[in-house]
Amino acid sequence: MLEAQLRMQLKNKKIGLMTHIVLGYPSLDANKKIIHQMVQAGVDLMELQIPFSEPIADGPVILKANQKALETGITVQQCIDFAKEMAATHSIPFLLMTYYNILYQFGIEHFVKQAAENKVYGTIIPDLPIEEGHHYIQTMNDYNLSPIFIFSPTTTDDRMKHIASYGKGFIYCVARKGVTGQTTTFSNDLSDYLARCRSATHLPIAVGFGVKDKEDIQFLHGKADIAVIGTQTIRIVEENGIDAVGPFIQSLMI
């Protein structure tokens, strides 16, 4: 379902844009305003991150956002309910992103069932390897949701094909080793890596980790289907306020 939706949305675009926010940071009311601006500016899909105390794939900016959101007392159920409201309000696909401990404690089937009932299209669980995720994968398939899996520059070609055989919707290709928010070198090495990603899967590929401006997105044009903006949007909010989000997202369009 997600793959078909994305291919339809991206048919007449040079490259799609996925954004990422941490739910509860700075507040759910602020999240609503940010999402509205992003949708109005033309984003194609969005990750809604459920805060977790140890977000191991995330750098300092998103880590702080997770911690600040948790300090407000936000719950997993509030995040799922918020996703339901956003999916009912906006026409783009929404994904839930979090870490496996959240699903384990909440209950995998309970989590996936609610996500499906709330019209979420899929989930991203970056710390769950394929070999330990069979129950999660089967449950996602049972509810017709897309489990989004990840390639990295250190992933071998054979491993990419193995991962892709379980994926649906799209593949998330991290642009470099390390965590979110650090500097990424947009170079021939990245081009070669993305060519390997492309050859390993029939699914659309999204590229994140270090994408921060229009120049980066122009580099990805023709090499990826979707560019992912996460940390930079949080920086924009912190430095310039919520109202700066719309103009920033519009400045990324090519």
Phi-psi region of 224 (alpha: psi -120 to 50; beta: other; left: phi over 0): beta
The yes-or-no answer on residue 58 being catalytic is yes
Query: Are 79 and 50 within 8 A, CB to CB?
Result: yes
From 44, 47, 216, 225, the catalytic residue: 47
Peptide bond into 126 cis (omega under 30): no
Residue bearing tokens 């977000």:
55
Q: Tell me if residue 123 falls in helix, strand or coil.
A: strand
How far apart (Å, rounded) are the C-alpha atoms in residues 199 and 194?
A: 9
How far apart (Å, rounded) are the C-alpha atoms in residues 106 and 16?
A: 32
Query: Are 214 and 232 within 8 A, CB to CB?
Result: no
Token digits of residue 31? 């999240």
**233 Cα distance to chain centroid:** 13
State the DSSP code for 170.
Answer: -
From 58, 131, 142, 192, the catalytic residue: 58
Token digits of residue 187? 């170079």
Closest CA to 102 of 12, 190, 23: 23
The yes-or-no answer on residue 142 being catalytic is no
Give the residue numbers marked as catalytic: 47, 58
